[in-house]
Amino acid sequence: MKKIDLHTHTRASDGIYSPHELIDLAKDNGLIALAVTDHDTVDGLPEAVGYAAGAGIRLYPGVEFSIDYDAGSFHLLGLNIDYTHAGLRNEVKRLADFREERAYKMVEDLKKHDIDIPIEEVLIMSAEGAIGRPHIARVMVNHGYASSVRDIFQNFLVKGKPGYVKKERIGFDTAIALIGESGGIPVIAHPVSLGCSDYVEFEGLLRQFINSGVMGIEAYAAMHTAEQAAHYRMLAEKYGLVVTGGSDFHGDKDEVIGNFMKESPIPIEIYYKLEDFITRQ
Ligand code: AMP
Ligand code: ZN
Ligand code: FE
Ligand code: FE
């Protein structure tokens, strides 16, 4: 069966596979198209693009920005970006520097709570990529503070718990502008994570987002139920948006590459429609 996945992470951020390992895995699982969408970085993309060409996989260079806006925060994907764009590169460099500073602060805060992990191990764990909470969590697991990354996130690194430090985020307008200037498609990632109290509230937000330049919705997301996926898809169609889908694959959770719930393949027609959209763009 042919499969696709439009939301994945590599070691350039907090995934555990290198870009070429991820592409090998995608190929072994029957994927014909893949988007690499690391958090706040494009560092994995040169290797991904080069290797995918040889492997015969359609590779969409992407990025996943954590966004601050007036009412909260959410994730915005930029799909099919030109990762050599100078403005984009400057911004991700700035964000990576903030992430490194934040990692030091997180380790310090953990120390205040008698949790002692060496920052050096966090830096090694992140392999010079954009440092995220999962890197800290993995080092904490190695030091016996919990048996899994999932357990760490129950008690640490989240708001109100030891080790939490707010992240410096890119502004919504800047992100939309940079994705647009670099030829990409701005897509709201896993919209359920916006935490709207109902679909009516979400639809109100969505209209604002569309006015600001959002062009797609990730209807098929790992954290969506089938009912949510169907609803977000319906909304995308109502507003003429691109529908995307991805597993948010990192490699160390229970995501399955190419699937949006554990066992549901991301519909292949998304890929054909996306190709159509890009051709007409
Ligand atoms: P950061 O961008 O550094 O704030 O880290 C965000 C990443 O942490 C997400 O993309 C997930 O990979 C991971 N994460 C956040 N919350 C959890 C959780 N409750 N369980 C496991 N992983 C999580
Ligand atoms: Zn992540
Ligand atoms: Fe995300
Ligand atoms: Fe993600």
Per-residue model confidence as pLDDT tens for the chain (281 residues) = 899 999 999 999 999 999 999 999 999 999 999 999 999 999 999 999 999 999 999 999 999 999 988 777 899 999 999 999 999 999 999 999 999 999 999 999 999 999 999 999 999 999 989 999 999 999 999 999 999 999 999 999 999 999 999 999 999 999 999 999 999 999 999 999 999 999 999 999 999 999 999 999 999 999 999 999 999 999 999 999 999 999 999 998 889 999 998 889 999 999 999 999 999 98
Q: Which residue in the block uniquely carries the two structure tokens 């911004």?
A: 91
Q: At what angle do helices 226-238 and 199-212 cross, to 10 degrees?
A: 40
Say yes or no: CB of residue 166 within 6 Å of ligand 1. Answer: no
What is the pTM for the complete model shown? 0.95
9 CA to centre of ligand 2 in angstroms: 7
114 CA to centre of ligand 4 in angstroms: 30
Say yes or no: CB of residue 14 within 6 Å of ligand 1. Answer: yes
d(Cα 135, Cα 113) in Å, to the nearest integer?
19
Say yes or no: CB of residue 102 within 6 Å of ligand 1. Answer: no
The topology (CATH level 3) of 3-91+169-280 is TIM Barrel (3.20.20)
| pLDDT at site 1 | 86
d(Cα 148, Cα 141) in Å, to the nearest integer?
6
Q: Assess contact for 185 and 277: CB atoms under 8 A.
A: yes
Burial of 2 (0-12, 13-18, 19+ CB in 10 A): exposed
| pLDDT at site 170 | 94
Cα dihedral value 184, 278, 5, 96, nearest 10: -10
Specify the pairing of strand 242-246 against strand 216-221. parallel
| pLDDT at site 68 | 87
- Which atom of ligand 1 is nearest the CA belonging to 39? 2
CA distances from 260 to 48, 96, 115, 254 (A): 22, 28, 35, 11
**Could you tell me the residue ranges of all domains in the chain?**
3-91+169-280, 97-155
| pLDDT at site 43 | 97
Say yes or no: CB of residue 78 within 6 Å of ligand 1. Answer: no
| pLDDT at site 242 | 98
Percent of residues in the chain assigned helix, strand, coil, to nearest 5: 45, 20, 35
The topology (CATH level 3) of 97-155 is DNA polymerase; domain 1 (1.10.150)
- Which atom of ligand 1 is nearest the CA belonging to 75? 10
| pLDDT at site 71 | 75
Cα dihedral value 263, 268, 269, 274, nearest 10: 110
Say yes or no: CB of residue 167 within 6 Å of ligand 1. Answer: yes
249-265 CB burial, b ≥16 within 10 A, e <16: bbbbeebbbbbbbeebb
